[in-house]
């Protein structure tokens, strides 16, 4: 990546790569719709991408599985991948860059220096903090160290995937490496969380384009996710919702009801407690999403979703009672103890209070004998 590239606009870069202006306008229309903007905003988005200089991107990979990158490169519009991977001038990403070793590291250093205060930092993966952060090191440096250095000059941080947003699987109980999400370490930068395991490709692109076009971070919800993509529950945009309202539920995976496409609520579907765009954007060029494929949502865009298991049951387990116990198990014990206690108490009453009871019955019988009529 050369510095001259960063003086180009997005349109310049695309024309240079052999796309036509028509391709560009198709992309603009598509991404405007995905960002949840009105159709009348298309011209504004086009203008911004025509005139604005491209924003450099540094993409760091820590404790992750590269699933987010995999999702990202399967975007359903060819320009989506190109505009980020090449045209937005992705200056550093372990997975996709051609350079390696010292060349790659020095390219990153150079880019960070030249674009100090201007670049977007994308983080994929959680950051281990235990034992001095030794559980994730790149080029001999710990993830904590690298993150702090990269974040220092970033204009904004976008966290791709649930790991960098909320800790993900490595932060799940018992979290052996002391993994934390990015916002546990970096406190002084705007952070846009794009969780999911992985997030939807068009959502990832949409967030980056939003920042590129408007220069501001999008409106976020209470746990840091852009509302335009995470504003709705999967349940409320689910095409199986009519079955839920009708009370038609699949009881098991191989049942007649499952084949008919009934609601997966009883199989532990997390759709009613999960905020994501799966229901209307879907995956892999809009082919499908888990529920459409017959498997309940596992709630992957929610905080600490790995600890909210088991995935195929409606009620989560809570640890800390020594045994894994659901609300129903604890509740039945509490209720049972109370009922048993009441029964024992009733017996004990008749024994220990026999004198009082006997006396009042006797006096009542006495009165009965002296009734007027």
Partner 1 sequence: MSSLVFKRVYVWELAVRFFHWITVGSMIVLIITGFIIADPPALNMHVEASNAYLFGYIRVIHFTAAYLVMAVALFRLYWAFAGNQFAHWSYFIPYSKKAIKNILHVIKSDILLLKDRNENLEDVSIGHNRLAAFSYFIMGLLFIFQAMTGLALLSQTSGWWFPKMFAWIVPLMGGEIHVRYWHHFLTWIFMTFIVIHVYLVLYHDYVEARGEVSSMISGFKFVRAERIKKDKETQKD
Which residues are near partner 1 by CB under 8 A?
222-223, 233, 236, 242-249, 251, 257, 265-266, 270, 272-273, 299, 302-304, 308, 314-316, 318, 327-328, 330-332, 334-335, 338-339, 341-342, 345-346, 348-349, 352-353, 356-357, 359-360, 362-364, 366-367
Give residues with Cβ within 8 angstroms of 75, minimum separation 6. 81, 201, 202, 205
d(CA 265, CA 312): 9
Inter-CA distances, 81 with 73, 77, 90, 202, Å: 6, 7, 11, 10
Nearer to partner 1, 70 or 328 (CB): 328
Inter-CA distances, 358 with 165, 348, 361, 365, Å: 70, 15, 5, 10
The least distance separating partner 1 from the CB of residue 231, rounded to whole angstroms, comes to 9
Nearer to partner 1, 2 or 367 (CB): 367
The least distance separating partner 1 from the CB of residue 101, rounded to whole angstroms, comes to 42
The least distance separating partner 1 from the CB of residue 332, rounded to whole angstroms, comes to 7
The least distance separating partner 1 from the CB of residue 198, rounded to whole angstroms, comes to 19
- Taking the alpha carbons at both ends of the chain, their separation in whole angstroms is 112
Nearer to partner 1, 61 or 270 (CB): 270
CB 56 within 8 A of CB 120: yes
Inter-CA distances, 256 with 146, 250, 279, 283, 290, Å: 53, 8, 23, 26, 19
The least distance separating partner 1 from the CB of residue 298, rounded to whole angstroms, comes to 11
CB 182 within 8 A of CB 213: no
The least distance separating partner 1 from the CB of residue 161, rounded to whole angstroms, comes to 17
Nearer to partner 1, 16 or 359 (CB): 359
CB 315 within 8 A of CB 209: no
Nearer to partner 1, 116 or 321 (CB): 321
CB 144 within 8 A of CB 182: no
Nearer to partner 1, 29 or 308 (CB): 308
Positive or negative torsion for Cα 48, 51, 54, 55: negative
Nearer to partner 1, 98 or 351 (CB): 351
Nearer to partner 1, 116 or 239 (CB): 239
CB-count burial class (<10 Å; 0-12, 13-18, 19+) for 340? exposed
The least distance separating partner 1 from the CB of residue 261, rounded to whole angstroms, comes to 9
The least distance separating partner 1 from the CB of residue 274, rounded to whole angstroms, comes to 8
- The overall longest dimension of the chain from CA atoms, in Å, is 115
Cβ–Cβ contacts within 10 Å for residue 113, how many?
A: 9
């Amino acid at each position: 990546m050369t510095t001259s590239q960063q003086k180009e606009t997005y349109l310049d870069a695309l024309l240079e790569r052999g796309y036509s202006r028509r391709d560009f306008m198709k992309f603009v229309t598509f991404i405007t719709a995905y960002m949840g903007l009105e159709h009348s905003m298309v011209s504004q988005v086009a203008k911004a991408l025509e005139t604005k200089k491209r924003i450099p991107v540094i993409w760091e990979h820590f404790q992750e599985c590269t699933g987010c990158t995999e999702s990202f490169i399967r975007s359903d519009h060819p320009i989506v991948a190109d505009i980020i991977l090449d045209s937005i001038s992705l200056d550093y990403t372990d997975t996709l860059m051609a350079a390696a070793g010292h060349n790659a590291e020095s390219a990153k250093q150079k880019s960070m220096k030249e674009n100090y205060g201007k670049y977007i930092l994308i983080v994929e993966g959680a950051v281990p903090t235990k034992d001095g952060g030794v559980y994730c090191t790149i080029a001999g440096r710990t993830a904590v160290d690298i993150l702090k250095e990269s974040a220092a000059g970033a204009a904004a941080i976008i966290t791709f995937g649930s790991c960098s947003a909320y800790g993900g699987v490595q932060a799940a109980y018992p979290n052996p490496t002391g993994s934390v999400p990015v916002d546990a370490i970096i406190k002084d930068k705007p952070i846009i969380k794009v969780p999911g395991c992985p997030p939807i490709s068009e959502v990832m692109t949409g967030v980056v384009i939003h920042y590129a076009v408007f220069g501001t971070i999008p409106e976020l919800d209470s746990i840091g996710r852009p509302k335009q993509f995470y504003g709705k529950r999967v349940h409320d945009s689910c095409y199986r919702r009519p079955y839920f309202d009708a009370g038609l539920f699949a009881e098991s995976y191989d049942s007649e009801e499952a084949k008919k496409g009934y609601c997966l609520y009883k199989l532990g579907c997390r759709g009613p407690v999960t905020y994501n765009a799966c229901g209307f954007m879907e995956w892999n060029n809009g082919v499908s999403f888990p529920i459409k494929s017959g498997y309940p949502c596992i709630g992957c865009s929610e905080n600490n979703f790995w600890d909210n298991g088991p995935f195929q049951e409606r009620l989560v387990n809570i640890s800390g009672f020594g045994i894994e116990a659901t609300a129903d198990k604890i509740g039945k014990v509490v209720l049972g103890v109370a009922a048993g206690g009441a029964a024992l108490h009733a017996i004990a009453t008749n024994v220990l209070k026999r004198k009082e009871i006997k006396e009042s019955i006797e006096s009542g019988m006495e009165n009965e004998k002296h009734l007027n009529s």
